[in-house]
Amino acid sequence: MGFIENLVGDINEVLWSYVLIIVLIGVGLWFTIKTRFVQFRLFPEMFRVLFDKRTISAEGKKGTSSFQAFAISAASRVGTGNLAGVASAVAAGGPGAVFWMWLIALLGSATAFVESTLSQVYKVPEKDQYRGGPAYYMEKGLNSRWLAIIFAITITFTYGLVFNSVQSNTISLAFSGEFDFKQGYMAVILVLLTAIVIFGGLKSIANVTQIIVPIMAILYIIIAIYILIANITAVPDLLALIFENAFGFREVAGGGFGAAIMMGIKRGLFSNEAGMGSAPNAAATAEVTHPAKQGLIQALGVFFDTILICSATAFIIISAGGYEGSKLDGIQLTQNAFEFHIGDWASVFIAIAIFLFAYSSILGNYYYGENNIGYVKDSKFGLFIYRIAVLAMVIFGAIATFDLVWALADLTMAIMALINLYAISRLFKIAHRVLQDYQRQRKAGKDPVFYKDALDDDSGVEFWDRERSNDQGK
């Protein structure tokens, strides 16, 4: 295992240092400028769309509601990255890593808008649901079936297998440290709970996550806000420390500057997923009258994840101290920080919270793989094998080392992100035209409805003809 960890770590060092960081920031900045800062200009519009009555329920319609699609993607976003990932970023990169998490989220929300809008444009109807995502817009928009298959295989391996091992590893560490609960026992429990839901299908996942995600997020945020209010006088100093460490000369001279950037962007990407090509799989399932609506909702998800939840976690860990040189793994560092602020019971709460966060992420991650397996080949046997592999990786993660599962996650998500960023950069003009159509209709006081003839080139777009769109809007 040590050899594998070292090999993967060396590959990650090269890939992240010289390629992915530049591409992520560059593409996010380009999208932000070209859309005239869509993530900031239309921020109020995101909430209007999310809570619109036709957004919340999809009863009697094909697919999920836009709110359910938001919940599925949030189930994958809001999880281990917010608690264990933030802790490992601060421990390895210092407080300055938080600034780079913010930057990748602010720029990444524009990227999230583009990729999720494209997933709606190129979605296809199947029975009682829609399918879509990067594999679909790569084939239909770029006319590149081979690239689509490569991506479909990559995301299935990354999310369904590797990322789910990270989730189960974090749960296992949290319960092992707090309750001395044997990792093997936790592996069995997680496998049983996961199997019950994933064999129930997409509707089952949507029904579970739209209940779990809001409850667990609200409870966690309430406790985090309480801690921040109780330590409100320390917040200005925390902000100063974050910025000093992000740009300080001491960090540059000591090599900590590079660590802050790399860890902040790594863990920021793992947490909010903007540009990775994962959330578009959930976004494509939504029943909406205009693709830009789901793009806006997914952009909001990036703010929700990083700016709100990750920031709260980071403030609590930094203000508690003890993260420098700590030998604790991820979630255990977060547990100690909460315990420092509000007592012994807090670490118990975090163990339970991470169970809910990470378990819901396992469900969301699983769906991304299922969606892409269906794209490559509609095979019941293939889907069955995938489900067994997911359960096997849940077991592996629960008993594997912290460093190994995170190193594998960093490697696979880097490969996945590079493929997706290439595709959405080439298809940006389509997403931009959709955004312009949405804004034109909103300016005219309409509830926007999209037709594919609004595009200069609608080749590959199967769904948005006028007859279907009219049926959808009823």
Q: What is the tens place of the pLDDT at every residue in 159-208?
A: 889 989 988 998 998 888 778 788 888 999 998 888 887 877 656 666 66
Is residue 467 one of the residues assigned to a domain? no
The residue segments making up the domain with residue 227 are 9-443
Which pLDDT score is estimated for 75?
56
CA 471 → CA 102, 184, 203, 280, 466, distances in Å?
41, 51, 22, 23, 9
Is residue 396 one of the residues assigned to a domain? yes
Number of neighbours of residue 121 by Cβ within 10 angstroms:
30
**Residues 207, 214: contact at Cβ < 8 Å?**
no
Is residue 460 one of the residues assigned to a domain? no
Domains held by the chain: number: 1
How many CA atoms lie less than 13 Å away from 177 in the CB half-sphere? Answer: 25
User: 63 or 8: whose pLDDT is higher?
Assistant: 8
Is residue 230 one of the residues assigned to a domain? yes
Is residue 463 one of the residues assigned to a domain? no
Task: Enter the DSSP assignment of 124.
Answer: E
Is residue 461 one of the residues assigned to a domain? no
Is residue 471 one of the residues assigned to a domain? no
Q: Which 3 state secondary structure label does DSSP give 200?
A: coil
Q: Per-residue pLDDT tens for 40-67?
A: 999 999 988 887 765 554 444 555 666 6
Collect all residues with Cβ–Cβ distance below 8 Å to 431 and sequence separation of at least 6.
Answer: 113, 114, 117, 118, 121, 295, 424
Distance CA(461)–CA(272), nearest Å, equals 28
Q: CATH number of the domain that 55 lies in?
A: 1.20.1740
- In total, the chain counts a number of residues equal to 474
- Beta bridge mates, 124: 131
Distance CA(364)–CA(368), nearest Å, equals 7
**Residues 213, 359: contact at Cβ < 8 Å?**
no
Report DSSP letters for 370-430, one per residue: HHHHHHH---HHHHHHHHHHHHHHHHHHHHS-HHHHHHHHHHHHHHHHHHHHHHHHHTHHH
Q: Per-residue pLDDT tens for 95-139?
A: 888 898 899 999 999 999 999 999 999 999 877 778 888 999 999
Is residue 200 one of the residues assigned to a domain? yes
pLDDT tier at 428, thresholds 50, 70, 90: very high
